Amino acid sequence: MAIVEDTPRELTTGQPAVAERPLGVLTRPTSTEGWKSWLTTVDHKRIGILYGAAAIFFFVVGGIEALLIRLQLARPGATVLGADLYNQVFTMHGVTMIFLVAMPLGAAFANYLIPLQIGTRDVAFPRLNAFSFWCFLAGAIFINTSWFLGGAPDGGWFAYAPNTGVLFSPSNGMDFFAIGLQITGIASLLSAINLIVTVVNLRAPGMTWFRMPVFTWMMLVVQVLLLFAIPVITLALFLLMFDRLWGANFFNVEAGADPLLWEHLFWIFGHPEVYILILPAFGAVSEIIPVFSRKPIFGYKFMIFSGIAIGFMGWGVWAHHMFASGIGPISVAAFSVSTMFIAVPTGVKILNWMATMWGGRLRFTTPMLFAVGLVSMFTIGGLSGVTHSVAPADTQQTDTYYIVAHFHYVVFGGVILGLFGGMYFWWPKVFGYALDDRAGKWNFWLMLIGFNVTFGPMHLLGLQGMSRRIQTYSSGQGFDLWNMVATIGSFMIALSVLVFVGNILQSYRTRNRRPPVGPDPWDGRSLEWATASPTPVHNFDYVPVVESLDDFWHRKWGEDEDGNIVRLATAEQIAQTGERRDVHLPSPSYWPLVVAIGLPIIGYGLIFNYWLCMVGGAIVLGGVYAWIMEPTDDPDAAHGPDGHDDHHDGDGDGNGATTDESEAEELEAPVG
């Protein structure tokens, strides 16, 4: 593909080149504006926004499912949902909130922030990144179409086989679960590989491992967990699918199958998954608290190593989900002890956040409130978690609302509070205007109180013996009052989410009437604040050189002889302006979307008609080859001899090529 560009072009814009060429199959799309450009974008920031938007959409869907559950349980003997529908709704609530909200919301932050925090222009494989998003969305829509195609999954998000076999779950729901989660699993796995390579290979000069922000570190741990956890759940889902579709015997107890096989496989994935969910929120809070305490994070290396320790130990505690399943006293004792141990690194984090705040100049803005909310609520959830590690107590708590209370305190009180804080914190960087602080505080307090009113009473219900996953209960068991209270609380949470959505709309409408946020609205510490808001398409005009942890802060502030903090420069003086227009960026591509569309078609084919598999397979295969064959970048960019055309996505954006010619390319490229 030695396309030589003779006429030098004017270098005018920072946008990818608009090549005047008829669109052939293997040319790359060129538009960077309008809704269509979102379908072909490979920009990590836009992909991050897409992940976030999808996650918030599914948050509303999963929230409506939660409200239906609470309406059904508000009073004894209610008939809002029948038993069958109730099973589907609580299953889909769990599946949606875990796989379609918490995971993509984490991915949204990872995608947007990791390249910025390590000072690079994009992820290592931009097209693969786009594919990860579309693949996730395809899987998410696929699972949700089950509502209209014979019934949603009804075996719980944990999908214990043999209970999820055809015998006990005859609708196609669990097939949608098994296949849909395989599709979202592909997305998570590829995204994990992509982000690991990005962090390992694309850190800015001087950005050593121990100068990386805690957020990036935690995200790296999450990606490593995903890398090793996803294949395990993929395998389990394959076995379930083979059983259900083709009559294999893996969970056929009649044929002698071990009913614990699924539980083991699922929880070997499932427990690391818990840390996959929470560590992004821990990372976000570790960025928010130092900024609003005006102190560096206390025990930076302790934070990193405790995150890594959680990542390792997360693999050795899975059977604490199975204390009541009869795995034997030795196993129970071992997993009980390891579960108590894993509370230690988590405790280190909690104490370090508090020590960071101690003596700091605290500013209780909305993000800080959410961060402190996480620290306190997660601690409650963590403590009830330690009570589960005591196996004799756990056998009492298993399958009661006490468990439901516990995991909502860690997942809602941890993940949701932390990442809502993250949204308020990074919103100005992403969109160029801040969310309103007053409405934000309403949002926070409504959410915090609603959350406690909803899930606090569930501890009591559980200890009183109310079983989870039941569709209804009879009066006179002492469950009536607290169930009604929990339902009221759930509507307060719904109200707080409405406030959040209203805040977004209102802040967007009034964005021009308020003062511009500037590059660094919060006096931030990490590199994302060292460039303009909203982030320019090329991230940084010049690749930053990093000299210390919290490098950006140390360029703004120093110490005089008496140890007083003095300002060296304002953020506006040292932040990059984002005005450079000659940065070569990877071109958009159609093929990630095309390949992702093929996958659910294969899924429908497996369930309904094998001919569809042929169609889907053809789309995937054709898409993959078109992906490989399409020019690395816009067709008019001179790209020297062939050799780095297919996989080298990042070629032009300053990371892939190492040869001398890449310098020349940069100049010749018409991109501006």
Partner 1 sequence: MEHGDEHHRSTPLSHEKLAMWAFLGSECLLFGGLISTYMLYKNKLPEGTAISPGELFDIPFTSVTTFVLLMSSLTMVLSVSSITRGDLRRNRVWLLTTALLGAVFIGGQVYEFTAFYNEGAGFTTNLWSSAFFTLTGFHGVHVSIGIVMLMSLFIGNLTGRITKASAEKVEIIGLYWHFVDIVWIVIFTIVYLFPQ
Residues forming the site for partner 1 (CB under 8 A)? 119, 124-125, 189, 192-194, 196-197, 200-207, 227-232, 234-236, 238-239, 242, 246-250, 252, 255-258, 261, 265, 268, 530, 542-545, 555, 574, 576, 625, 628, 641-648, 650, 654-658, 662-663, 666
Rounded to an integer, what distance in angstroms lies between the CA atom of residue 410 and that of residue 407? 5
564 or 658: CB nearest partner 1: 658
Q: First vs last Cα of the chain: how many Å apart?
A: 21
Task: Kindly tell me which of 128 and 410 has the beta carbon lying closer to partner 1.
Answer: 128
Tell me the sheet residues that pair with 557.
Answer: 567
Measured CA distances, 404 to 64, 257, 585 (Å):
18, 30, 47
For residue 235, the minimal CB distance to partner 1 (Å) is 4
Structure tokens at 360: 């700091």
Torsion angles phi and psi, residue 382, rounded to 5: -65, -40
Structure tokens at 612: 């569809």
Most distant pair of Cα atoms in the chain: their distance? 86
Closest separation in Å from C-beta 430 to partner 1? 22
For residue 671 the two structure tokens come to: 């991109």
Smallest separation, CB 544 to partner 1 (Å): 5
If you write DSSP's letter for every residue of 281-307 in order, what string do you get? HHHHHHHHHHHHHTSPPTTHHHHHHHH
CA dihedral 628, 633, 635, 637 (to 10 degrees): -140
Cβ proximity to partner 1: between 503 and 662 the closer is 662
DSSP assignment of 352-364 equals HHHHHHTTS----
- Least separation, in Å, of the C-beta of 385 and partner 1? 25
Q: Which amino acid is at 456?
A: G
Q: Which is nearer to partner 1, 225 or 607 (CB)?
A: 225
Minimum CB distance to partner 1, residue 649 (Å)? 8
Alpha helices, H only, 202-259: 214-246
CA gap 579, 95 in Å, rounded: 43
Q: What gap in Å lies between CA 286 and CA 549, rounded to an integer? A: 14
Q: Beta partners for 559?
A: 565
Q: Are 455 and 469 in contact (CB under 8 A)?
A: no
What minimum distance in Å lies between the beta carbon of 267 and partner 1? 13
Structure tokens at 5: 């560009």
Q: 208 or 477, CB closer to partner 1? A: 208
The least distance separating partner 1 from the CB of residue 444, rounded to whole angstroms, comes to 35
Q: What are the φ/ψ torsions at residue 37 (nearest 5 degrees)?
A: -65, -20
Q: How far is the CB of 188 from partner 1 (least distance, A)?
A: 11
Task: State which residue, 93 or 203, has the beta carbon closest to partner 1.
Answer: 203
Q: Are 155 and 163 in contact (CB under 8 A)?
A: yes
Supply the minimum distance, in Å, between the C-beta of residue 362 and partner 1: 29
Using DSSP's 3-state secondary structure scheme, residue 567 falls into: strand
Q: Which is nearer to partner 1, 194 or 496 (CB)?
A: 194
Least separation in angstroms between residue 172's CB and partner 1 is: 20
**In terms of CB distance, is 437 or 666 closer to partner 1?**
666
* φ and ψ of 565, to 5 deg: -75, 125
Q: Least Å distance between CB 372 and partner 1? A: 32
Nearest to 598 by CA among 251, 131, 247: 131
- Cα–Cα distance for residue pair 44/566, rounded to 1 Å: 36
Tokens of 21: 């060429």
Find the shortest distance in angstroms from Cβ 174 to partner 1: 18
Q: How distant, in Å, are the alpha carbons of 82, 112, 211, 296 from that of 185? A: 31, 20, 31, 36
Indicate the helix (H) or strand (E) that contains 605. Answer: helix 591-607
Taking the least distance from each CB to partner 1, the nearer of 102 and 199 is 199
Q: Which is nearer to partner 1, 66 or 186 (CB)?
A: 186
User: Which CB sits closer to partner 1, 240 or 377?
Assistant: 240
Which pair of tokens denotes residue 614? 């042929």
Nearer to partner 1, 436 or 633 (CB): 633
